[in-house]
Chains A and B, each alone.
Chain A
Amino acid sequence: MNTVVDEIRFRQHEGTVEYTPKDFKAGIDVRWCAGCGGYSILAQVQRIMPTLGIPKEKIAFISGIGCSSRFPYYMDVFGVHSLHGRAIAIASGLKVARPDLSLWIATGDGDCMSIGGNHFIHACRRNINLNVLMFNNEVYSLTKGQYSPTSQQGQVTKSSPLGVLDDPFNPASLALGSGASFVARGYDGDPKYLQYLFERAAKHNGFSFVEIYTNCVIYNDGAFDLFTRKDTRNEHSVMLEHGKPLIFGDNKDKGIKLDGFTPKVVSLTDGKYSVDDLLVHNEKDSTLAFILANMTYNQELPRPMGVFQAIERTTYEQKVEDQIAYYSGKPGAGKLENLLIDEDSWEIK
Chain B
Amino acid sequence: MEKQVQYLDEAVIRFAGDSGDGMQLVGTLFSNTSGSVGNDVNTFPDYPSEIRAPEGTLYGVSAYQIQFGQKRVNTPGNKIDLLVAMNASSLKVNLPHVKKGGLIIANSAGFDDKNLKLARYEKNPLEDNSLSDYHIVPLNISNIVKEELKDSTISPKHVDRTKNIFALGMTYWLYDRPLNHTEKWLEGKFGKKADILASNKKVLKAGWEFANKSEVFKTQYKIKRSDMKPGHYRNITGNNAAAIGLVVAAHKANMPLFLGSYPITPATEILHFISGYKQFKVKHLQAEDEIAGVCSAIGASYGGYLAATTTSGPGLSLKVEAIGLAVILELPLVIIDVQRGGPSTGLPTKPEQSDLFMAMYGRHGEAPLPIVAATSASDCFDMTIEAARIAIKYMTPVILLTDGYIAQGTNPWRIPNLDELPDIKPKFVTNPEGFAPYKRDPQTLARLWAIPGTQGLEHRIGGLEKEDITGLVSQDPANHQKMVNIRAKKIEGIANDIPLAVVEGEQQGDLLILGWGGTYGAIKDAFDKLRSEGKKVSYCHLKHLNPFPKNLEQILKSFKRILIPELNMGQLKSIIRSTYMIDSIGLNKVQGLPLKAYEVEDKVNELLKVKE
Contacts and interface: CB of A to CB of B under 8 A. Distances in A.
A250 interface: no
A191 to B, nearest CB: 25
Contact of B256 (A14, A75, A97, A118): A97
A133 to B, nearest CB: 17
A346 B181 contact: yes
10 contacts: A3-B254, A65-B463, A78-B459, A121-B288, A324-B281, A328-B280, A340-B244, A341-B232, A346-B32, A346-B36
Given A86-B322, A328-B280, A344-B234, A93 B307 contact: yes
A330 B279 contact: yes
Contacts of A121: 288
Given A89-B296, A340-B415, A78 B452 contact: yes
B304 A11 contact: no
Given A14-B455, A56-B458, A97-B258, 20 more contacts: A4-B426, A4-B428, A11-B455, A28-B472, A57-B452, A77-B458, A81-B462, A82-B462, A86-B325, A98-B453, A101-B453, A118-B288, A320-B283, A334-B281, A336-B248, A336-B251, A341-B232, A348-B228, A348-B231, A349-B230
A270 B481 CA distance: 73
A57 B453 contact: yes
B26 to A, nearest CB: 14
Interface string B359-374: 0000000000000000
A80 B329 contact: yes
B461 to A, nearest CB: 6
A13 B303 contact: no
Interface string A72-87: 1101111111110010
Contact of B285 (A11, A92, A328): A92
A346 B233 contact: yes
Contacts of A3: 254-256
A204 interface: no
Interface of B: 28, 32, 35-36, 38, 181, 184-185, 188, 228-235, 244, 247-248, 251, 254-256, 258, 260, 277-281, 283, 285, 287-289, 291-292, 295-300, 302-305, 307, 321-322, 325, 329, 415-416, 418, 426, 428, 430, 451-464, 472-473
Contacts of B459: 78-79
Nearest to A115: B291
Q: Which of A28, A82, A122, A334 has the most CB of B within 10 A?
A: A82
A323 B452 CA distance: 24
Interface in A66-116: 72-73, 75-83, 86, 89-98, 100-101
B270 to A, nearest CB: 14
Contacts of A30: none
A83 B463 contact: yes
A98 B185 contact: no
A162 interface: no
A11 B325 CA distance: 29
Contact of B296 (A58, A90, A324): A90
Contacts of B416: 340
Interface of A: 1, 3-6, 8-9, 11, 13-14, 26, 28, 55-58, 60, 62, 65, 72-73, 75-83, 86, 89-98, 100-101, 118-119, 121-122, 320, 323-324, 326-328, 330, 333-334, 336-337, 339-349
A83 B283 contact: no
B244 to A, nearest CB: 6
Contacts of B321: 83
A13 B281 contact: no
Given A82-B462, A92-B292, A348 B303 contact: no
Contacts of B280: 328, 333-334, 336, 339
Contacts of A330: 279
Contacts of A119: 288, 291-292, 295
A333 B300 contact: no
A63 B233 CA distance: 48
A164 B36 CA distance: 70
Contacts of B38: 348
Contacts of A11: 453, 455
Contact of B295 (A93, A100, A334, A346): A93
A121 B289 CA distance: 12
A76 B458 contact: yes
B279 A341 contact: no
Contacts of A122: 287-288, 292
B453 A26 contact: no
Contact of A341 (B234, B254, B295): B234
A5 B292 contact: no
Contacts of A55: 455
A100 B461 CA distance: 20
Contact of B255 (A4, A326, A336, A337): A4
B295 A86 contact: yes
B41 to A, nearest CB: 11
Contact of A346 (B234, B304, B460): B234
A118 B304 contact: no
Given A101-B453, A122-B288, A94 B247 contact: no
Given A55-B455, A78-B459, A83-B325, A5 B304 contact: yes
Nearest to B287: A89
Contacts of B300: 93-94, 96-98
Contact of B303 (A82, A97, A346): A97
A345 B240 CA distance: 14
A6 B451 CA distance: 11
A89 B233 contact: no
Contacts of A337: 418
The 9 closest A-B pairs by CB, nearest first: A93-B296, A81-B462, A93-B299, A94-B299, A89-B295, A345-B234, A333-B279, A346-B36, A97-B300
B113 to A, nearest CB: 40
A85 to B, nearest CB: 8
Given A3-B256, A339-B280, A79 B460 contact: yes
Contacts of A327: 278-279
Contact of B185 (A89, A100, A320, A344): A344
A272 B125 CA distance: 91
Contact of B283 (A76, A80, A96, A347): A96
A86 B379 CA distance: 34
A287 B36 CA distance: 62
A74 B290 CA distance: 31
Contacts of A336: 247-248, 251, 280, 418
Contacts of B234: 341-342, 344-346
A73 B473 contact: yes
Nearest to B451: A8
Contacts of B473: 73
